[in-house]
Amino acid sequence: MTARLLDGLGLARRIHGEIRPEVAAFAAKHGRPPGLAIVLVGADPASEVYVRNKLRSGAEIGFRADLERLPASATTADVLALVRRLNASPVHDGVLVQSPLPRAMGDDAGQRIFDAIVPSKDVDGLTPVNMGLLVQKRAQFVACTPSGVVELLEREGIQIAGRHAVVIGRSDIVGKPMALLLLHRDATVTIAHSRTRNLEALCRQADILVAAVGRPGLVTKGFVKPGATVVDVGINSMTDEGTVLGLFPEGHRRLALFRAKGSVLVGDVHPEVAEVAGALTPVPGGVGPLTIAMLMRNTLHAALMAHGA
Ligand code: NAD
C-alpha cells in the first residue's frame, strides 16, 4: 500500500481564496483592512522564516500585517510593554508573539507574555481564557496548527468520530489543543509524551496518529497500523548527512536536494511510513501551510468580532 498524500498546501491556498473576499469586504466597510501584528524577539533562524511566511501570506490576502521586532536582549518588561501597546492599537485585530522566546528571558517569560495578550486579539489561542473556552468546547480562538490539522482531516473526509486517535506531544501550542479538538469530534484520544512507555505499541493502535514531537523520523513503520491516517506536525531542519541518510536512501530526490543545499526539512514521521499508512501529510507541504491559513482565518474572525459580527 502507498499512502494517499494529504495536500495541505493545496487546501491552504483554497482557504486563502475563501478568506480574500471577506477581507476585502471588511476593508470596504470599515475603511481599513483587518490587521495582524507579529512580535518577534531576537533572530531565531526558523522563526525568521515562519514570520516572513505569515507576513507574506497576510499581505497577499489583503490584511495589514506588521512585524514588531525586539532585540534578543529585550526584557520581559519590554515585550509586555509592546504587547500592551498592541492590545490598545485600533488597527491591529490580532496579536501573535512568535515562539520560542530567547532562553535568556527565563522559563516563565512565555507564559507571562501570552497571559498579557487581550483574549479578543489572541489569534494563537494561547491565553488562559481561550484555552479554558477550548476545554469547555466553546472556543473562540484555537491554536493554528491543530486547527489546521482538523480542517485537513475533515475536508479530506477522514472520519474522526469513534476512531482511536493517538497524539504524540503535549505542548500547549500543539499537543494539548490537538487532543481536545479530536475529543470534541468524538474520537477516543490518547496523549503520548516523552515519558510514555511502549510508545510504538501504543501508536500501532491508532486509527489517526498525530506526531508533534520535533524528533526527525521518530515514527517508523512499526508505529503504524496498516491503513491508518498519519499526520506529521514536526518540522526539523537537518544538516547532518548521517541522519538524512537514515531517512532517505541513496538516489532519493530529497537526499540530492540535501546535498545541493546543505539542509533539508523533515518531519517526525519516517518516509517509510508511506508504505503502510492509508493517508499521510507530507513535510513540507502538509500541516505547515495550514497553520498560516488558520492564522489568517483567526485574524479575520478577531476583526469581525471587534466590530460586533
Ligand atoms: P515541544 O518541544 O513544546 O513539545 C514536544 C513534545 O514532544 C513534548 O510534549 C514531549 O513530551 C514530547 N516528546 C519529546 N520527546 C519524545 C519522545 N521521544 N517520545 C514521545 N514524545 C516525546 O514542541 P511543539 O512546539 O509542540 O512542536 C512539536 C513539533 O512540531 C516541532 O517539530 C515543531 O517544529 C513542530 N511545529 C510545527 C508547526 C507547523 O506549522 N507544522 C507548528 C508548531 C510546531
The catalytic site residues sit at: 54, 98, 124
Q: Is the pLDDT score of 111 beyond 90?
A: yes
CATH code: domain 144-287 is 3.40.50.720
Q: CB within 8 A of 261, min separation 6: which ones?
A: none
Residues 6+ away with beta carbon under 8 Å from 49: none
Closest ligand 1 atom, CA of 175?
A: 26
Mean pLDDT (whole number) for 198-212: 98
Mean local confidence (pLDDT), 235-241: 94
pLDDT level of residue 205 (50, 70, 90 thresholds): very high
Would you say the CB of residue 215 lies under 6 angstroms from ligand 1?
yes
**Same-fold call for 32-119 versus 144-287:** yes
Contact 233, 149 (CB under 8 A): yes
The total of other beta-carbon atoms located within 10 Å of residue 32's CB is: 13
pLDDT score, position 140 = 96
pLDDT tens, residue by residue, 159-194: 999 999 999 999 999 999 999 999 999 999 999 999
Q: Dump pLDDT digits (tens) for 71-101.
A: 999 999 999 999 999 999 999 999 999 999 9
**196 CA: nearest ligand 1 atom:** 20
Distance (angstroms) between ligand 1 centre and the Cα of 168 equals: 8
C-alpha 173 to ligand 1 mean position (Å): 9
Residues 129-160 pLDDT 10s: 999 999 999 999 999 999 999 999 999 999 99
Q: Which CATH superfamily is domain 32-119 in?
A: Leucine Dehydrogenase, chain A, domain 1 (3.40.50.10860)
Q: Which residue's entry shows cell 494561547?
A: 126
**Total residue count of the chain as it appears in this document:** 309
Residue ranges of domains in the chain: 32-119, 144-287
